[in-house]
Amino acid sequence: MQAMSAPAPNVEELLDLKLLPAWLKEPARPITYEGAEGDSDRNRGSGRGPIELPRNRKFADRASNKPRSRVNDRFRKPDERGARRSRQSRPDSGRERARPHPEPDVQVTVSFLPYSATFENVVAQINSGSVAYSLYALARLFLEKPVGYEVCLKPKAGSQLYQIGENGIVSADRDFLDRNAFRFAQRDFYQVDVVETDPIKGDFSNVARCPLSGTLLGPTNHHHYQPQLRSLYEQRFSQRMSFADYQRQIDIVSDSALIERWKQEARKVTTFTTVREESPVTFSAVAEAERHFRTNYVPGLIRSVDEVTIGGASSRRLPDRGLNRAIEEAWSREARSPSIMMQELANRFRQSGLHVFRHRRGMLFVSPIRPRAFVHQHAGVSPSVNSILEALSMRPRSNRKQVLEKLTTDVASENAEARRLALASDLRWLINEGYVIEFNDGSLDLPKPKAMKQTSEWQRQQPVTYLLALPAPATPANEAVDLPLS
């Protein structure tokens, strides 16, 4: 399995498990998938102000006292109808707008795994306390920020994934990587420097500009125009439109300020010096460096991979738009129902010595303490311990304050403080021993005793083959988990 190199995250960005009581909780942060190309604004919450529900169109128009946008033409004057048709039929400009090509359907399996540094940080926070956390909430917390997860990509049957080098860019299109290999891997083979040359001489009456990116390409009769035009197209627009369609988008402007700006930008020349050869060679033109790159490095550089793991931040800015869209859609599904992340977290928590258990309608929780049922027949048990257990059995999900207030109601005022301290000490002992579960929202509960399997007389009379044919109980390892957030 190959992994793309990613910069180490800052400690401040790691997940922070804030132990807040139930009455003091921070507002839920919106889950966003920033950095993805396409219509990502639909999935991006602003997090400011309440959500305004859409109103009925009929009543909205009526309340605003504005005429409806669609009005029957028979109520218009003849000249108004003609003018309206002419405006609708007139194109916006003299050239057609570029229509992006449909993104290919990438056949790849996307899995989200907890990032190791973030996971170790969370394990340390859990071990530092004695509370239990919802595994569902933790899985969503890992998916909330790119620093919390890694993305594992596997091609489906009949499809392939390709990668540049050991830790380079990944794509499902080999031709795309071959066309852009120099742009993606040039800094691994060359030292790139930018130097200024002599001022551009000559009088130019116009300059070509790309309206999609705002890049000045220079006069059309300049010798750098065509190479720069082709390079910009390959880098940014090759998957959106054909080269002929892109050429039709170029504007020719006669603004003297833009011409002067292009002259200043054209003075900056990028040089490429080889770093993997005994005798370094320097190229002053991009075309020469790319020609050297394709001759000496490209053969064998692009390879097929069966599985690749990339960082969460890198997965949001992949140059392959189809692969980027597949990861975004998979992230949206996993954020709604993080079953894969929950199973991976459960396995890793157990390997780290934490305890994963079911409670509250079968929901999964993780705790540094193993829950166990208290046996009341123990000798020497103090009355305050029994009173705490009885109070929680009658009123589960109470917090510490509610339990102490209930057990000190009938105590005289001069003995209330001593009674309260004794109960608090016994409650702390019960929590540390696992006889009482304390959740991260401050609620307390008793562990559920394991249900004993009772076999009826009729079942005991059945042959052994019938008992072997009974379905095995579901386990957290093979059970699909889809739990509500607690």
Asked if 250 and 213 count as a contact pair (C-beta separation under 8 A), the reply is no
* Same domain assignment for residues 177 and 279: yes
**pTM for this model (two decimals):** 0.62
Q: Which residues contact 470 (CB under 8 A, 6 or more apart)?
A: none
pLDDT higher than threshold 80 for residue 261: yes
* Same domain assignment for residues 284 and 180: yes
Given the structure tokens 């170790």, which residue do they identify?
A: 120
Find the CATH number of the domain harbouring 427: 1.10.10
Does residue 399 sit within a domain?
yes
Does residue 29 sit within a domain?
no
pLDDT above 70: percentage of residues in the chain: 69
* Listed residues 290, 318, 340: the one ending a domain: 290
Nearest Cα neighbor of 208 from 200, 217, 199 is: 217
pLDDT higher than threshold 50 for residue 75: no
Does residue 60 sit within a domain?
no
Read off the pLDDT of each residue in 120-141 and give the average, rounded to a whole number.
93
Does residue 166 sit within a domain?
no
Does residue 225 sit within a domain?
yes
**Range of weakest confidence among 43-52, 62-71, 256-265:** 43-52
Structure tokens at 92: 């916006």
SS (H, E, C) the chain: CEECCCCCCCHHHCCCCCCCCCCCCCCCCCCCCCCCCCCHHHHCCCCCCCCCCCCCHHHHHHHHCCCCCCCCHHHCCHHHHHHHHHHHHCCCCCCCCCCCCCCCCCCEEEEEEECHHHHHHHHHHHHCCCCEEEHHHHHHHHHHCHHHEEEEEEECCCCCEEEECCCCCEECCHHHHHHCHHHHHHHHHEEEEEEECCCCCCCCCCEEECCCCCCEEECCCCCCHHHHHHHHHHHHHCCCCCHHHHHCCCEEECCHHHHHHHHHHHCEEEEEEECCCCCCCEECCHHHHHHHHHHHCCCCCEEEECCEEEEHHHHCCCCCHHHHHHHHHHHHHHHHCCHHHHHHHHHHHHHCCCEEEEECCCEEEEECCCCCCCCCCCCCCCHHHHHHHHHHHHCCCEEHHHHHHHHCCCCCHHHHHHHHHHHHHHHHHHHHHCCCEEECCCEEECCCCCCCCCCCHHHHCCCHHHHHCCCCCCCCCCCCCCCCCC
Kindly list the distances between the CA atom of residue 172 and the CA atoms of 15, 104, 299, in Å, as whole numbers in the listed order. Answer: 32, 10, 18
Strands 308-311 and 2-3: parallel
Dump pLDDT digits (tens) for 170-216. Answer: 999 999 899 889 989 999 999 998 877 777 777 888 899 998 888 88
* Listed residues 242, 266, 290: the one ending a domain: 290
**Range of weakest confidence among 16-20, 81-85, 369-373, 455-459:** 455-459
Does residue 149 sit within a domain?
no
More confident residue, 242 or 27: 242
Does residue 160 sit within a domain?
no
Structure tokens at 63: 């309340």
More confident residue, 458 or 208: 208
**Range of weakest confidence among 50-59, 62-71, 274-283, 440-449:** 50-59
**Range of weakest confidence among 70-84, 160-174, 432-446:** 70-84
pLDDT higher than threshold 80 for residue 130: yes
Q: Which residues contact 326 (CB under 8 A, 6 or more apart)?
A: 106, 108, 110
Q: Which residues contact 423 (CB under 8 A, 6 or more apart)?
A: 384, 387, 388, 403, 404, 407, 408
pLDDT above 90: percentage of residues in the chain: 29
pLDDT, position 104: 56
Nearest Cα neighbor of 285 from 176, 165, 197 is: 197
Dump pLDDT digits (tens) for 220-234. Answer: 888 888 888 888 887
* Listed residues 241, 262, 290: the one ending a domain: 290
* Same domain assignment for residues 283 and 385: no
Does residue 357 sit within a domain?
no
* Same domain assignment for residues 384 and 276: no
| Residue 412 domain boundaries | 378-445
Asked if 320 and 172 count as a contact pair (C-beta separation under 8 A), the reply is yes
Tally of residues, the chain: 486
Looking at the structure of the chain, the number of domains it has is: 2
Chain centroid to CA 111: how far?
11
